[in-house]
Amino acid sequence: MSDYKAPTDDMLFVLEHIADLSDLAKRQGYEHADLETVGGVLGEAARFMEEQLAPLNRKGDEEGVTVRNDQVFHPEGFADAYDRFVEAGWNGISMDEGHGGGGMPWCVGLAVQEMMTAANMSFSLCPLLTQGAIDAISHHADETLQEIYLPKMISGEWSGTMNLTEPQAGSDVGALTTKATPGEDGTWRISGTKIYITYGEHELAENIIHLVLARTPDAPPGTKGISLFIVPKFLVNDDGTLGDRNDLRVISSEHKIGIHASPTCVMSYGDEAGAIGWMVGEENSGMRAMFTMMNNARLSVGLQGLSLTDRSYQQARQYAVDRKQGKAIGAELAAGESSPIADHADVRRMLMTMRANAEAMRCVMYANAASIDFANSSEDDAERNAWDAVTALLTPISKGWGTDLGVEMTSLGVQTHGGMGYVEETGAAQHWRDVRIAPIYEGTNGIQAADLVFRKLPLEGGQVVDRFLKQIEDLASELASDETLSPIGHGLDEGAAQLRKSAMWLGGRLATEPNDAAAGAALFMRLAGVVIGGFYLGKSAQIAKRILSEPNQSSDFMKDKIVTALFYAEQILPTVTGLSQAITRGADRFYAIPNDRL
């Protein structure tokens, strides 16, 4: 199995030219995020992830976690790696400097997270959940709770979790029944069972800070009656030291298809006196606080599709170059010799498809993260609102399109290996198994698609989508007149036309035939991802060509950028025509066969 190598050159290119890092570094609070400094940060992060986390990936898959005496234990090496991760400061690289974070823009933190996830997805889920918990506490908890919990969570000494799901309530969070009873000292007693709690119990951090959704007495039904509570594994003394163990425990950890070294726990709260918790925000406003955490996590989960695609591509590429079989068309070989399978057209198709989609995803997701940074650093309300609208549009696409692609691309990685891909010895199947959860958790991709169509399409009366489409159309026009890049321009022009047509059709059905809109939502999310990914690759190719035209510039990296964008335009963008046709068919055929004959 090949080693992981972080693609820092492409990361820096996307940060500079797609995420506009130089402009971001001119803003108050991000002055230290100049390209040279960020390049050094990414270089150090790459070394850490490649050397410390990547070697544990296979071990974690093979051995998984164990539950003993109400505790979860990782394979040997994970705890030491986590200690080094915390010591190096990677956990808080993009967190508030006021609480000990590094203060880097979120787009830079996302690049570091991409490396961590590609190196070891199971490991990465602990920091991912912690950062979401930090975000929720930062935005919604009072100052006292922030001072108690944020410094240790930002450093990574304490980790965080999200406790939504219950056995009787999957995606229907409003059906949860966990109870919160008020105590006499301002605290609450939490009792109930939560399932699918990622890193709900583990030995890596010295304390685990659970964010738990529960109902207070006389709370209204549904999501309007849910409150959010901080429930630590160990209570915290007034001097900041750890006190008694709280009344909560792990019952079991699920046996899963993948991410075997990431504990997915069944948690029990309040088996005895009740787990002690502190309310975050106001009573019955828990969903608002939790959505802060979930929206943070959705981009990070979308990133898992990119990370595992890149890891799988690197392995498949190396295997295809090393593995020799058959004679490629036109190859001149000595008697008895075979061609590398990378020379066969179908293998090359798979590799180029993986590469092009990975680069498109990286552009979309880094742009998504940068929109968060620009919004957070905007002093003008109108500008902030415009960037928030871009974030709202791109987040479900990053999560849904990105994770769907992650599954498809890692499957191509297995296919590239042929029969050896289906044998665990090569490790190719692990990437597919690990990423298969990503379209399911943090809101299934069906939920992401519905969010895109029912909530994001109507934003500002459709003007948010229209503004983005006009950017795509303007670039398409520019590229169409460029002799080298004209295939990208023509492909983008058609893609934008199909995206606009589909958006208008769906928008027209929202009020009158909502089931038609629901039926087309998943394919629309795919169409939007393909076109927006093509837009950013077209922009990348335009920039690469300009750089190559400068004196004394000859770069294989830039040349390959152009070729990859051309491949995407010719092989991937044309799929949008079929998607558009299916989107606008409506829901009638979906329900033409009754349930009892399905």
Query: Residue 461: inside a domain, yes or no?
Result: yes
Query: Residue 506: inside a domain, yes or no?
Result: yes
- Model pLDDT, residue 170: 65
- pTM for this entry: 0.96
Neighbours of 184 (CB within 10 A): 5
Query: Residue 421: inside a domain, yes or no?
Result: no
Q: Which of 491, 532, 494, 568 minimizes the C-alpha distance to 367? A: 532
pLDDT of 568 over the 90 cut: yes
Domain extent at residue 500: 444-598
- Model pLDDT, residue 2: 55
* CA dist list (Å): 149 to 153, 157, 412, 500, 577: 6, 10, 43, 46, 51
At how many degrees (to 10) do helices 381-416 and 514-549 cross? Answer: 90
Tokens representing residue 193 in the block:
């069972």
Task: State the average pLDDT over residues 26-49.
Answer: 96
Query: Residue 483: inside a domain, yes or no?
Result: yes
- For the segment 506-556, what is each residue's pLDDT rounded down to a tens digit? 999 999 999 999 999 999 999 999 999 999 999 999 999 999 999 877 799
Query: Residue 201: inside a domain, yes or no?
Result: no
Read off the CATH number of the domain in which 573 is found.
1.20.140
At how many degrees (to 10) do helices 428-435 and 121-140 cross? Answer: 30
- Model pLDDT, residue 240: 93
Q: Which of 391, 395, 400 minimizes the C-alpha distance to 438? A: 400
- Model pLDDT, residue 397: 98
Residue whose token pair is 């797609």: 18
Spatial separation of the C-alpha atoms in residues 301 and 114, rounded to whole Å: 10
Number of separate domains in the chain? 1
pLDDT of 103 over the 70 cut: yes
pLDDT of 223 over the 90 cut: no
Query: Residue 468: inside a domain, yes or no?
Result: yes
Residues with catalytic annotation?
Answer: 442
Q: Which of 105, 37, 97, 543 minimizes the C-alpha distance to 366? A: 105
Confidence of residue 171 (pLDDT cuts 50, 70, 90): low
Query: Residue 463: inside a domain, yes or no?
Result: yes
Query: Residue 499: inside a domain, yes or no?
Result: yes
